[in-house]
Amino acid sequence: MSNIPTPHIRAKEGDFAKTVLMPGDPLRAKYIAEHYLEDAKLVTDVRNMFGYTGTYKGRPISVMGSGMGMPSIGIYSHELFAFYDVDNIIRIGSAGSISEKCNVRDVVIAQGACTNSAWASQFDFGGTFAPIADFDLLSKAVNIAKEQGTRVVVGNVLSSDPFYNAKKDANKAWMDMGVLCIEMESAALYMEAARCKKKALSILTISDSLITGEELDSEQRQNSFHQMMEMALELA
């Protein structure tokens, strides 16, 4: 493929599996490769955004960091979908709850991703596009969760540009519409998947609650991370 390597990924053609798991943190990608995959090989490290390919239960799978925010995941997901012929990207991240339905430790599957960012303006819709998860991946993930006995909440999330929002009541309108939690990447990922005719899903663990102020400690984070990982890996 003539477009590879890309400005942000130095892997060769065929280095990525058809399914890529994307945590925000590249060191998380390294941890997943080392602890969950077999025969994992580093395929890219531009800007220390590590990407690995290995196998899980004999099936090829890749894992690569996305960085934080819509511009960052927008770059990596576009290059993976459009230039490395990746078919599925599963974001695995954390989010802050803004709903009574989500407690810390819960796993949320983002059926839709609202956003306060201007990402969609590049498409000049003249209306509002609804970024949604791929239904096959979504229903498969829900079934895996049932089999594993993992409680999941499925619904709308908010992909926010600001983490430190200057507006005091910034979350109220979203809460009134039943949005479950805030993170920073899913809407761009879902729009890139739609644009490239590919599949995407975001699975999130609730790391903190903006309602109660509760936060997971590191051991609790690790346990809910493990449940989310088990679901995501089975999707390959």
Question: Interface residues with ligand HPA (CB under 6 A)?
Answer: 94-96, 160, 163, 182-184, 207-208, 210
CA torsion 24-63-6-13 (nearest 10°) is -170
C-beta closer to ligand HPA: residue 57 or 167 = 167
| Token pair listed for 55 | 């196998």
Q: How far is the CB of 232 from ligand HPA (least distance, A)?
A: 17
Q: How far is the CB of 174 from ligand HPA (least distance, A)?
A: 11
- 176 in catalytic set: no
Residue in 25, 45, 161, 208 annotated catalytic = 208
Q: Is 32 left (phi over 0), alpha (psi -120 to 50) or beta?
A: alpha
C-beta closer to ligand HPA: residue 6 or 209 = 209
* Cα–Cα distance measured from residue 69 to residue 64, given in angstroms and rounded to the nearest whole number: 15
Residue closest to ligand HPA (Cβ): 96
Do 190 and 200 contact (CB within 8 A), yes or no? Answer: yes
C-beta closer to ligand HPA: residue 91 or 198 = 91
Q: How far is the CB of 98 from ligand HPA (least distance, A)?
A: 8
Do 91 and 206 contact (CB within 8 A), yes or no? Answer: no
C-beta closer to ligand HPA: residue 182 or 229 = 182
> Judging by beta carbons within 10 Å of its beta carbon (0-12, 13-18, 19+), is residue 3 exposed, middle or buried?
exposed
226, 203, 55: which is closest to 148 by C-alpha? Answer: 226
Q: How far is the CB of 208 from ligand HPA (least distance, A)?
A: 5
What are the residue numbers of the active site? 208
